Structure 1
Amino acid sequence: MAEPEPEIQVKRRRIAPKALIRFKERIRELIQRMRGGSDDPVQKAIGSGIAQAAPGGTASVTIGWTPECLRQLGLMVVEQRRDAEREKALKDLGEQLQVSTEALVGFFGILNVNEVPPEKLAHTLAEIAQRHRDLIYRLDSLDPEDPAISALIDEARGVIERADSDAAYDRADRLLGEAEALDLQAIQRAEALAQEAQAAANRRRINAASTRLERGELSLTRLDYLQAALHVKAAADQLPAEEDVLRANYLGRYANALYRHGDEKGDNAALLQAIREYRQVLHLCPRARVPLEWARTQTNLGTALATLGARESGTARLEEAVAAYRAALTEVTRERGPLEWAGIQNNLGNALTKLGERENGTVRLEEAVASFGAALTERTHEREPLAWAMTQNNLGNALTKLGERENGTARLEEAVAAHRAALTIVTRELGPLMWAGTQNNLGNALLRLGQRESGTARLEESAAAYRAALTGYTRERVPLIWAVTQHNLGTALALLGEREKSTARLEEAVDAYRAALTERTHERGPLDWAMTQRDLANVLAQLGEQKNDAARLEEAVVAYRAALTEYPHERDPLDWAMTQRNLGDVLARLGEPENGAAQLQEAVVAYRAALTECTRERAPRLWADTQIILALALKRLGERENGTAHLEEAVEAIQLARSEYHNAGVVGFDAEFDELLSAIVQMIDERRRMTE
């Protein structure tokens, strides 16, 4: 409520006796006109509005008072001179304006204090009366619940109805102020009670959320990650709106449960949801407010991105994972938290290793080795033996990938040493999954060594390591990791079968690859699925060749074509070209019977597809070899046709291959080239003579 205005000093003016006599006479005349009508040019109006005067006339209120009469009456009121005539005029004017005589006296006091000019008296008086009536009406309309407030308002209304002075108005204002104060006090009490009730409700919400969270922990104990995620998300939804920090904590746990399910059960949708939730947590916990929590969430986000990226083609997710880990390292420094810093370095190394696998060159792999080396400066054998073993295992993976791209076996030997060092700490009893993973990775390093060495000793060790891993990696517990290990076992068995000329080993390899494909599906990971299809096709082709089994060859064609639907043509064009060439070889073998022209045509298509990437500039010797086998397929086609087109194409392919052999300084094949060319040219000549 506004403060009361300062008291205004009323200027009182005395009225001369003659003027007073004339004023009284004028009042009598006006009263008579009101009763009996008048021809006065003053217009009349209904109610308390202001009539507009005729041109040249004066404005008056609806009862017909001129400004001069109102001024004179106002002076009499202010002078407090009473007589019957004045009282009668006040009474009639009050009835016309629908206010009490006392209130009208108060109005004239207001007009006098504010020195309202005569020409505005009628209008201002009507306005004051209207406001007075509206105020009384509004006060009547109020319906306070508190009896004390109701009594104050009723008393104020009564005072206002007969307010004849500033003191009366001041009293009414004080009464309304007291009513307002009582309401404000009641509001404060109600708000305090509401706040207490809301606080109690919020405590209940937090307690309920905490209980629901424990249900999630119980589900985690049972390794039911999806159910745990549902419980934790429900707990987060129960929290009060203002609990951003606690909500961020719960959502982080929700994302963790989704990640565990997606990681172990091969559910990419769960991983995507986990990534979304981690990003929401980053929004709730900005770096400026909680830098360490922000950094830890970046680490978890990086892990989810790396896991999903490993299953997808391309490198976008893996690049995001590397960025997330590096962001985390801006806050989690070696000085601030050496062991946590080492853990993030380890994770960064893993993401860089995955990126390095998909990119040409060794830059990413060298960065990965550097990250693992940094981690091992804090994750020492004495300080954190299990973490040290884990990083040794990861270092071995990066070294294996580097060894694959370098000549010699030094990096591969280092990789084997790193994995075996890890196994001195990680036993099956201590951590069956970690032990199984290290056995799998040891098998990978031994497999690569076995490929570069003669004999089968390293390959046997590799197969043994994979089989050991499969005792820890069960399909039920970790289906995708189990599938990866089955694939790796298949590769080791295939190499053993090739070196031993053993179809039994090759059949075991087929079984391992097909087991892998039961979980390594196209939907879960198209790139991994394509790789397994390709390697399965290679073994089926070998079996078909060794056993002269057309059914196995047909199966190989199906597997090659499946692989080529998802094979990373742009990322590894030469590998794609070799798959096309291998498909061509199987089709050419199937096309050997007299009714195999269709397969030979398909073989030619596959060889030519291979040559689009296996170019003379990119891989000259491989290009030349592919030209030779293309020529052989064209020759076979030409032998079964009447024309010479395919035979002429065969001659061209042989000549191209021969020129590359000569350019490369490869000698000792001229006799074979001459014999092949002679046979084809002879067929061409014979066909031309037949058509002459």
Structure 2
Amino acid sequence: MRRYRKEAVALAAAALILASRAGPVFAADNGAVNASACSVAAGGNASNNTLTCNFGLTAEQLRQVTKAAVEGATSPLMDRIEDIGKRLGVTEGAAKTLLRIVGEQPDVPDERLAEVLTKVANDYRRLQAQLAVLNPDNPTAQVLVEYAKAEIAAGHFDLAHQLLAQATQAQIVAAQEADKLASQAQAARDAQKLGAAASTATEGDLAMTELHYLQAAGLFSQAAELVPPAYPKETAQYLGRRADALYRQGDEGGDNADLISAIEVRKRVATFEARERVPLDWAKTQTNLGIALAKLGEREGGTTRLEDAVSAFRAALEEMTRERAPFDWAWTQDNLGIALARLGEREGGTTRLEDAVSAFRAALEEMTRERAPFDWAQTQNNLGNALNVLGERESGTARLEEAVSAFRAALEERTRERAPLYWAATQNNLGNALAALGERERGTTRLVEAVSAFREALEEMPRERMPLEWAGMQNNLGLALEALGERESGTARFEEAVSAFRAAQQKWTRERVPLYWSIAQANLGNALAALGGRESGTTRLVEAVSAFRAAMEEGTRKRVPLEWATAQNNLGNALARLGERESGTVRLEEAISAYRAALEERTRERVPLNWATTQNNLGGALKMLGERESGTVRLEEAVSAYRAALEERTHERVPLDWAYSTHNLANTLAILAVRSEDTARLQEAITCMGAAVEVYRQSHESYWLPIGERRVAEMTAQLTALKKQ
């Protein structure tokens, strides 16, 4: 049974080169659809990554301090604020305000307070750097800005907002007065507008510090509108900062509309940057455009956005060469790899995935562990995701083992203490690779490791702040639990898997991310079908059929053809199981139709092993139907389907799968032989079953070995009886 796997799109996909480098990961498809996912894209420059500590306090004590800061109350620990301020490099008053800002965030767990406080403090210091060079020409504005600087230093942000707004207004008023002057006043007017723009943009930086991305985007837009026409570079700069704010809102908040807005703003920025005049600026804008396109394409169906992202990255690399800008070249290679890997997940074959692996390995030539350890780790993570998807499409386990090695290398730098969210994303991806390995190996060791990896990742992934990534991890946990349940007795693991998929759908809603919702819906169908296989009755199987059909309403053939084909295959499996338990042939006929629909997209050329799996499943449904009907037409069709499956399920390539299909072929040949009293066919059936038994014996397949041996004995007895007639 092949399932969907969509990687948890966790975190920071792609470095915004012009602003802070931060972004998400791309993830892997295990055969079911997996969060993926989700791969995180390229993240930030190592110089912007911050090591955090608890400032000499326990997490609980730090929570008490932030609570006291919010409530304006006293606390025995408040005397530590001066020390916290020194450690953060800010005044005591500013430290109180930063503690209040962190304390007002409802979804920050105690163990992440220090990390978030450090991040806000970093933003605060960047704000101070902007203020240090802010020197408006207007005397009134100059005084107001100085007051604002003092208030910000003291931690009085609300008053600083007012003062900066007043400074802006003072300069706007001055600019309006200057407009009345003759042409000789043009320079003064422009200076006032540029000053007003700078003040407004600084207020935008203040909003970014407070994590108010949409407010910041609006302020940066106002700043761009204030810039005189003679200053296109400044206009482009403010628009770029607006795009950064919109991207962060769309990325972290899961808002596709904001990603679309970020894309449109990036395109507008490109109109201010002539490729011939400022080639590197143009290239950086192309890279940032590609990042937003890739993130949106990851959430939408089809491949158009992802194709556009690849084109943008390749265009950027024409100017941003390795010789001219080696580190930016490496970042763009990394982002190109992410987009190619996403495309490879949605297309058949391995070409795109091989290209993605090449792009990541090229990036690592410049982005070394010694030079940029955190960035190196992020690219190792992305390389692991591409190798994981490749491994799922190829036989053997070599690629999957390489993926596990890449993820474990990444975790040497992406530690839980240093970067908990990035650590969680890589733990999620490691879980995907371990689960894929576990499905190809005997026993449950790898699958148990995968379940542990997903559960640990969920301990650090905030559900409300990063809902899509959290849902992706729940989805992946469900897949690992389902695979584990297939190897254990009972239904407990399957019940846990159902709960995980339903949890994923709480955030992967149909309205918000219909494609992701369809992934979880299809995976829910698989878990329900597995439960139905172990329970009596048909209730769970009927629920599974409904789940698959609902999934295909969003995961359509046009949008995601291979995923649609997987859902059709799994729908066929559920219908075939129902057909076994019900009288008549309606369910079996429906199963056959579902398998044949799947084969329209699951072609031998495109996905040979998946094609063979569906041919094998089709053979099973035809065999059951043939046993209920008179004549041999359906049984002959079943034989043809099994023989087709064995053209790709070869003994050398996938020995156990070859044995399973050969076993099925032998049973069908035996039924045909008895009906037609054909000893030659029965002898062929005995030979086939004997060959399957030999593989079971060599593979230590304890379940099917005795069944195969018993069938050889039964067929031999039937052959003896036929020869006596």
Same fold, TM-score > 0.5, yes or no? yes
Map 1:663-678 to 2 at 5 A.
666=662, 668-669=666-667, 670-674=669-673
Map 1:588-607 to 2 at 5 A.
588-590=576-578, 602-603=590-591, 605-607=593-595
Partner of 2:634: 653
TM-superposed CA distance for 1:601, in Å, is 6.3
Partner of 1:377: 365
TM-superposed CA distance for 1:425, in Å, is 1.0
Q: Which amino acid counterpart does residue 232 of structure 1 have in structure 2?
A: F
Partner of 2:224: 236
Residue 230 of structure 2 aligns to a residue whose secondary structure is coil
Partner of 1:256: 244
Map 1:487-566 to 2 at 5 A.
487-548=475-536, 550-566=538-554
Map 1:250-649 to 2 at 5 A.
250-548=238-536, 550-567=538-555, 569=557, 576-590=564-578, 602-603=590-591, 605-607=593-595, 609-610=597-598, 619=611, 622-623=614-615, 625-630=617-622, 632-633=624-625, 647=629
Distance 1:417 1:660 in 2: 39
Partner of 1:146: none
Cα 1:441–1:500 change in 2 (3 A) is: same
Cα displacement string for residues 37-69 of structure 1 (whole angstroms, at most 9, x for unaligned residues): xxxxxxxxxxxxxxxxxxxxxxxxxxxxxxxxx
Contact 1:232 1:250 (C-alpha < 8 Å) held by counterparts: yes
Cα 1:584–1:432 change in 2 (3 A) is: same
Say which one has the larger Rg: 1
Cα 1:240–1:589 change in 2 (3 A) is: same
Cα displacement string for residues 481-532 of structure 1 (whole angstroms, at most 9, x for unaligned residues): 1111111111111111111124111111111111112222334443332222
Q: Which amino acid counterpart does residue 508 of structure 1 have in structure 2?
A: E
Q: Give TM-score, length-normalised by structure 2.
A: 0.61
Q: Which amino acid counterpart does residue 254 of structure 1 have in structure 2?
A: R
Residue 260 of structure 1 aligns to a residue whose secondary structure is helix
Distance 2:335 2:599 in 1: 40
Contact 1:386 1:426 (C-alpha < 8 Å) held by counterparts: yes
Distance 1:529 1:436 in 2: 22
Give the alignment's Cα RMSD to 1 decimal. 3.0
Cα displacement string for residues 421-454 of structure 1 (whole angstroms, at most 9, x for unaligned residues): 1111111232222111111111111111111111
Distance 2:278 2:532 in 1: 63
Distance 1:549 1:202 in 2: 79
Cα 1:201–1:479 change in 2 (3 A) is: same
Cα 1:569–1:673 change in 2 (3 A) is: farther
Distance 1:621 1:216 in 2: 56
Distance 2:622 2:604 in 1: 15
Cα 1:676–1:515 change in 2 (3 A) is: farther
Identity %: 54
Contact 1:209 1:239 (C-alpha < 8 Å) held by counterparts: yes
Q: Which amino acid counterpart does residue 236 of structure 1 have in structure 2?
A: A
Cα 1:207–1:528 change in 2 (3 A) is: same
Residue 476 of structure 1 aligns to a residue whose secondary structure is coil
Cα displacement string for residues 224-246 of structure 1 (whole angstroms, at most 9, x for unaligned residues): 22222122222222333333211
TM-superposed CA distance for 1:579, in Å, is 2.8
Distance 2:386 2:596 in 1: 36
Cα 1:498–1:659 change in 2 (3 A) is: closer
Q: Which amino acid counterpart does residue 498 of structure 2 have in structure 1?
A: V
Cα 1:630–1:228 change in 2 (3 A) is: farther
Residue 366 of structure 2 aligns to a residue whose secondary structure is coil
Distance 1:598 1:660 in 2: 20
TM-superposed CA distance for 1:340, in Å, is 1.5
Q: Which has the higher contact order (CA 8 A, sep 6+)?
A: 2
Cα 1:430–1:192 change in 2 (3 A) is: same
Please say if 1:247 is aligned against 2:235.
yes
TM-superposed CA distance for 1:676, in Å, is 7.5
Cα 1:621–1:251 change in 2 (3 A) is: closer
Distance 1:433 1:594 in 2: 49
Contact 1:369 1:398 (C-alpha < 8 Å) held by counterparts: yes
Contact 2:263 2:289 (C-alpha < 8 Å) held by counterparts: yes
Q: Which amino acid counterpart does residue 623 of structure 1 have in structure 2?
A: Q
TM-superposed CA distance for 1:399, in Å, is 1.4
TM-superposed CA distance for 1:265, in Å, is 1.6
TM-superposed CA distance for 1:552, in Å, is 2.4
Contact 2:626 2:634 (C-alpha < 8 Å) held by counterparts: no
Distance 1:482 1:616 in 2: 36
Q: Give TM-score, length-normalised by structure 1.
A: 0.64
Map 1:671-690 to 2 at 5 A.
671-674=670-673
Cα 1:585–1:416 change in 2 (3 A) is: closer
Cα 1:426–1:312 change in 2 (3 A) is: same
Distance 1:461 1:594 in 2: 39
Residue 377 of structure 1 aligns to a residue whose secondary structure is helix
Cα 1:592–1:452 change in 2 (3 A) is: closer
TM-superposed CA distance for 1:662, in Å, is 6.5
Residue 531 of structure 1 aligns to a residue whose secondary structure is helix
Contact 1:627 1:657 (C-alpha < 8 Å) held by counterparts: yes
Q: Which amino acid counterpart does residue 411 of structure 1 have in structure 2?
A: R
Contact 2:538 2:581 (C-alpha < 8 Å) held by counterparts: no
